């Protein structure tokens, strides 16, 4: 039984998302493309575009694994509602100059 549990845990370990590299200063959206760093966030709420900036957040201590989806980005075959599919939650400072 322990061997089955270890195999299941190893399977889920491979499914974890990589750490995001940017975080929006307004909506907190995670991003994986460094080319958009310091540019305006492209997320929209309703018909309004987010006013935030994609701040650089490349340090590992800026992020914590989402416990809801175990860093996979999915919960019950849908996008995780807790981390919005990123797999990680931003825990660093929400200040443009320090992120």
Give residue-wise pLDDT tens across range 21-41: 999 999 999 999 999 999 999
**Calpha distance 45→50 (Å, rounded):** 7
Query: Under DSSP, is residue 4 helix (H, G, I), strand (E, B) or coil?
Result: helix
**Calpha distance 57→84 (Å, rounded):** 17
**56-95 pLDDT tens trace:** 999 999 999 999 999 999 999 999 999 999 999 999 865 5
88's enclosing H/E stretch is: strand 88-90
């Amino acid at each position: 039984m322990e061997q089955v549990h270890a195999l299941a845990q190893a399977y889920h370990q491979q499914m974890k998302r990589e750490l995001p590299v940017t975080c929006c200063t307004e909506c907190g959206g995670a991003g994986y493309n460094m080319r958009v760093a310091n540019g305006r966030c492209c997320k929209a709420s309703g018909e309004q575009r987010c006013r935030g900036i994609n701040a650089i957040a490349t340090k590992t201590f800026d992020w914590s694994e989402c416990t809801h989806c175990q860093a996979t980005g999915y919960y019950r075959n849908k996008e995780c509602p807790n981390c919005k599919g990123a797999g990680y939650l931003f825990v660093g400072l929400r200040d443009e100059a320090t992120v």
